[in-house]
Amino acid sequence: MKMSNFWGHFCTITSHKIRVMKNCFRVGLFRQGLLHDLSKYSPQEFFAGVKYYQGNRSPNAAEREEKGYSEAWLHHKGRNKHHDEYWIDFSSDPSKGLVGHKMPLKYVIEMVMDRIAACKTYKGKNYTNGAAWDYYMLTKPYTVIHPETDQLLETILLMLKEEGEEKAFAYMRALLKKGTY
Q: Which residues contact 104 (CB under 8 A, 6 or more apart)?
A: 81
Give the whole-angstrom CA distance, residue 155 versus residue 167.
12
Give the pLDDT confidence score for residue 168 in this predicted structure.
Answer: 98
- The helix, strand and coil proportions of the chain, stated in percent and rounded to the nearest 5, come to 75, 5, 25
Residue extents of the structural domains in the chain: 3-178
pTM of the model: 0.94
Q: What is the DSSP letter of 28?
A: T
3-class secondary-structure state, position 88: strand
Write the CA distances from 150 to 100, 145, 153, 166, integer angstroms: 10, 6, 5, 21
Write the CA distances from 130 to 115, 124, 159, integer angstroms: 11, 14, 9
Phi, psi for 90 (deg, rounded to 5): -65, 145
- For every one of its 181 residues, what pLDDT tens digit does the chain have, with 9 covering 90 and above? 688 899 999 999 999 999 999 999 999 999 999 999 999 999 999 999 999 999 888 999 999 999 999 999 999 999 999 999 999 999 999 999 999 999 999 999 999 999 999 999 999 999 999 999 999 999 999 999 999 999 999 999 999 999 999 999 999 999 999 999 9
Give the pLDDT confidence score for residue 3 in this predicted structure.
Answer: 83
